[in-house]
């Protein structure tokens, strides 16, 4: 019975020692391939992080460009609105000029021309009469009498008031259109401000993701740097553990040989 037990102990201990030795060999044989495979996976992850970081940078630049564009739109709309307001005031002044001031001046001029035309009739008559007296030697035979000329001038002025009225209507229409345009331009910043808030929120999210990606990149680089050392320490630790297991297995092997030799103190372990 002792010999059978000893034989079993010898066989089990021998197999265990063989497995331990093979295990140690495998650990050190597989250490570098595992390091290489793990490093390859980490490199792939690092490349993914780099791609993500570049995409975030492009997104951030696009958001900043959009923000600058919106800011330009705001400033331009305010400037154009101010210019349009000034233009509107100028158009209003022209409208008053065309609708009131100039027609009033034309009416006054036409009234004066009619008075002058009446006086010119008398003057023409007197000069014509005097020109017929030989002793006075006055020559008056115009191609067109003065009163007729003044009458033609008055008639030419008759077409101006309707023209002024038409210009006034057009100016008023343009002015009303400018009023609506100014209102729309002044309302535009309210819309762009909401867009700016949305862009700012998106920029915060992108910045948060960028910080997280940067942290992961540093961590990945640190892991990549420490990986060979970590696997070496793990392999050394496993070798040390197997070494001590091997010592125990060697002791069991010796006890098995003692049992095979018939040693009665087979339960005593040194």
Residue 73 maps to a domain: yes
Residue 23 in any domain: the answer is: yes
Of 6-15, 147-156, 190-199, 238-247, give the range with the top mean pLDDT.
190-199
Q: Read off the CATH number of the domain in which 34 is found.
A: 1.10.287.2610
The answer to whether residue 96 sits within a structural domain is yes
Q: Which of 96, 88, 89, 83 is nearest to 167 (CA)?
A: 96
Number of structural domains, the chain? 1
**CA end-to-end span of the chain, whole Å?**
22
Please give the model's pTM, rounded to 2 decimal places. 0.54
Q: Express as a percent the part of the chain with pLDDT over 70.
A: 81
Range of the domain at 55: 2-261
Rounded alpha-carbon distances, angstroms, from residue 31 to 41, 89, 186: 15, 86, 71
Q: 267 in a domain, yes or no?
A: no
- Tell me, yes or no, whether 41 lies in a domain: yes
Asked, for residue 197, whether it belongs to a domain, the answer is yes
Helices 160-261/102-131 angle, 10° precision: 150
pLDDT in tens, 170-182: 878 888 888 888 8
| 164 occurs within a structural domain | yes
- Examine residue 249 and state whether it is found in any structural domain, yes or no: yes
């Amino acid at each position: 019975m002792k010999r059978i037990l000893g034989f079993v102990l010898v066989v089990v201990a021998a197999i265990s020692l063989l497995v331990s030795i093979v295990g140690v060999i495998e650990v050190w044989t597989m250490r570098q391939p595992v390091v290489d495979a793990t490093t390859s996976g980490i490199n792939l992850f690092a490349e993914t992080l780099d791609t993500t970081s570049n995409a975030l940078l492009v997104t951030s630049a696009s958001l900043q460009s959009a923000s600058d564009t919106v800011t330009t739109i705001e400033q331009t709309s305010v400037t154009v609105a101010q210019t349009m307001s000034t233009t509107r005031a100028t158009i209003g002044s022209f409208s008053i000029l065309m609708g009131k001031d100039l027609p009033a001046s034309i009416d006054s001029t036409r009234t004066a021309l009619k008075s002058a035309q009446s006086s010119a009739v008398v003057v023409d008559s007197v000069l014509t009469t005097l020109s017929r007296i030989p002793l006075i030697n006055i020559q008056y035979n115009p191609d067109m009498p003065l009163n007729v000329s003044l009458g033609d001038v008055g008639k030419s002025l008759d077409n101006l008031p309707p023209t002024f009225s038409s210009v006034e209507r057009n100016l008023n229409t343009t002015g009303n259109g400018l009023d609506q345009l100014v209102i729309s331009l002044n309302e535009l910043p309210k819309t762009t401000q909401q867009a700016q808030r949305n862009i700012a929120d998106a920029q915060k999210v992108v910045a948060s993701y960028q910080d997280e990606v940067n942290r992961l990149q540093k961590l990945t680089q640190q892991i990549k740097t420490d990986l060979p050392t970590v696997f070496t320490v793990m392999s050394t630790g496993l070798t040390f553990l197997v070494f001590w297991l091997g010592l125990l297995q060697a002791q069991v092997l010796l006890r098995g040989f003692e049992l095979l030799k018939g040693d009665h103190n087979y339960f005593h372990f040194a």
